[in-house]
A and B are shown apart, each in its own frame.
Chain A
Amino acid sequence: AQSVTQPDIHITVSEGASLELRCNYSYGATPYLFWYVQSPGQGLQLLLKYFSGDTLVQGIKGFEAEFKRSQSSFNLRKPSVHWSDAAEYFCAVGVSGTYKYIFGTGTRLKVLA
């Protein structure tokens, strides 16, 4: 069955430290992969997406993600975290032919000053 796993429910990092949020997927075909960010009480904002081509994709707000087919992973990274990055982050897989997503359960990021 298709699924998306975000193994870390909560992550705490210090401001200025690097960040990696994990996302693993189970999907038979080449996946369409997405990362979203949600600040408290707000909607989701698309950070970046992967459809094909270069496996390292750049997004907004200084985020990047790397698609690794062999590991079925699409981890989100940022070299230096800012306090404003504190939010919840969701990984999603687009289900081919349906326009639907499978979402991970999210990772809540806390940033220490």
Chain B
Amino acid sequence: SQTIHQWPATLVQPVGSPLSLECTVEGTSNPNLYWYRQAAGRGLQLLFYSIGIDQISSEVPQNLSASRPQDRQFILSSKKLLLSDSGFYLCAWSVTGGSYEQYFGPGTRLTVT
């Protein structure tokens, strides 16, 4: 069966520091991968999605970036965090050419101080 992992689970970082969040999917090949952010009391905002290695689309202009170094690994990064980057970050995957349903990881709670 497929599983999705995210780490770290919780992160507290000062303003201006770098960020690296990791997402890994097991049990499937060539998944579509997604990064979402959920600010406190708000809905989900799609940040990036990827339909393959070197195929990453950015949905919202921001100081975040995403990379996909391996087929089932998706990294969310920032060179300098802002206070507004605080939130709950969710990674998700879906089957390429499949029926669209997305499966979510457990999330990373990021607090920028």
Q: Taking beta carbons and an 8 Å cutoff, which residues of A are in contact with B?
A: 32, 34, 36, 41-46, 49, 51, 90, 94, 99-101, 103-106
Interface presence of B74 (CB below 8 A): no
Q: Is the CB of A101 within 8 A of B90?
A: no
Q: Is the CB of B104 within 8 A of A94?
A: no
Q: Provided the pairs A49-B101, A51-B99 are in contact, do residues A104 and B106 lie with their beta carbons within 8 angstroms?
A: no
Chain B interface residue count: which class?
20 to 34
Dominant SS at the B interface?
strand
A46, A49, A90, A99: the one within 8 Å of B49 (CB): A99
Summed over the interface, the residue pairs from A and B with CB atoms below 8 Å come to a total of: 51
Beta-carbon contacts under 8 Å, B17-59 to A: 32, 34, 42-44, 46, 49, 51
- What's the minimum C-beta distance from B41 to chain A, rounded to whole angstroms? 9
User: Which B residue sits closest to A9, measured CB to CB?
Assistant: B41
Known: A46-B101, A105-B42. A100 touches B106 (CB 8 A): no
A95–B92 Cα distance when bound, in Å, is 16
Q: Which residues of B contact A41 (CB under 8 A)?
A: 88, 107, 109
